[in-house]
Structure 1
Amino acid sequence: MKLNKEIINGLIIFIAISIYFLLMELLGLSHHFYLRFLNIVFVFYGVNRTIKQNLNEGNKQFVSNAISAMFTAVIGVILSIVALVIYSYLQGGDAFVQSLSETFLFGGNPSIDAYSISLLFEGVASSVIVTLLLMLYWNNKFSTD
């Protein structure tokens, strides 16, 4: 069975983000909230890879490439959030999430569900932004019809 490029690149995003966050945890850098924002680099890489593959295959339709790019980013985001939920339960559940929220954008004591849903909204929003930025970057490579 051959997986399509969106799934493969979404998996690349997920694997890169997972390794990055596990490395931050192992090195004791997970409390630095600004390092968490660097995961956007992996989303840029995966989405850009999908767009380049589409262009190399001769697909120069703007809308279909935008959908393909967005699908790639959303796959990476959803897989990452599922992995975070599993990891959170393995690390102590809501207590672990509350330790994450102390140094992040959340206030109060969020549950794993609330934290995950918030990250889903943030992830989808950043996926849209990344897709739009890269589509603007590659715009001159698409057909004008």
Structure 2
Amino acid sequence: MKNKTVLQNGFLIFLGIGLFFLLMDLLGLASKNYLRFLNAFIVLYGIHKTIKHNYLKGKMDYFENLFSGFITGVFGVFLGIIGLIFFIYLKGGESYLTTLSDTFFFVGKINIIQYCGVLFFEGVASSLIGAFVLMQFYGDVAISHKY
């Protein structure tokens, strides 16, 4: 990748999601499904930082900024899924997965790869929707160099 901002913000998404879920696990809130939706704000924040940086650097092409934001989200989600796989294995593997998969997304017995695959595709879809929504905002707002 020639744009290191995409990589930096993708890594920031990974750190944010990782810390958020570690904190939820430490506080015993990992089973609260509604709290898991808050990670969308972490992904949106990273995508927003990339798009804002592009505008501040004079990159005004809609599709270039949309793609940069999307790739930022996908990179962060990909790293997050890799981290989740390691975390699941550290916590006990398939036996720990049964406590995680007790949500409305999954029914029946699944394995780690199926669980993480579904979460990855959900993250990719969220990244695309998030990048598109943020680009709609930036299409109407002139970016100031003050922030």
When the two structures are superposed, what TM-score results if normalisation uses the length of structure 1? 0.93
Q: Which moved more, 1:86-95 or 1:75-84?
A: 86-95
Superposed, 1:1-145 pairs within 5 Å as: 4-141=4-141
CA–CA distance in 1 between the matches of 2:90 and 2:76?
Answer: 21
CA–CA distance in 2 between the matches of 1:56 and 1:104?
Answer: 41
Task: Note the residue ranges of structure 1 that are not aligned, 5 or more in a row.
Answer: none
Contact conserved, 1:97 with 1:112, CA < 8 A, in 2?
yes
Letter in 1 for 2:85: V
The RMSD of aligned alpha carbons is 1.5
By how many angstroms is 1:96 displaced?
A: 1.1
Letter in 2 for 1:42: I
By how many angstroms is 1:66 displaced?
A: 0.8
Letter in 2 for 1:37: F
CA–CA distance in 1 between the matches of 2:35 and 2:71?
Answer: 25
Letter in 1 for 2:81: I
Contact conserved, 1:32 with 1:103, CA < 8 A, in 2?
no
Identity of aligned residues (%): 43
CA–CA distance in 2 between the matches of 1:120 and 1:31?
Answer: 19
By how many angstroms is 1:119 displaced?
A: 0.6
Letter in 2 for 1:131: A
- Kindly tell me the number of residue pairs found equivalent between the two proteins: 141
By how many angstroms is 1:105 displaced?
A: 1.6
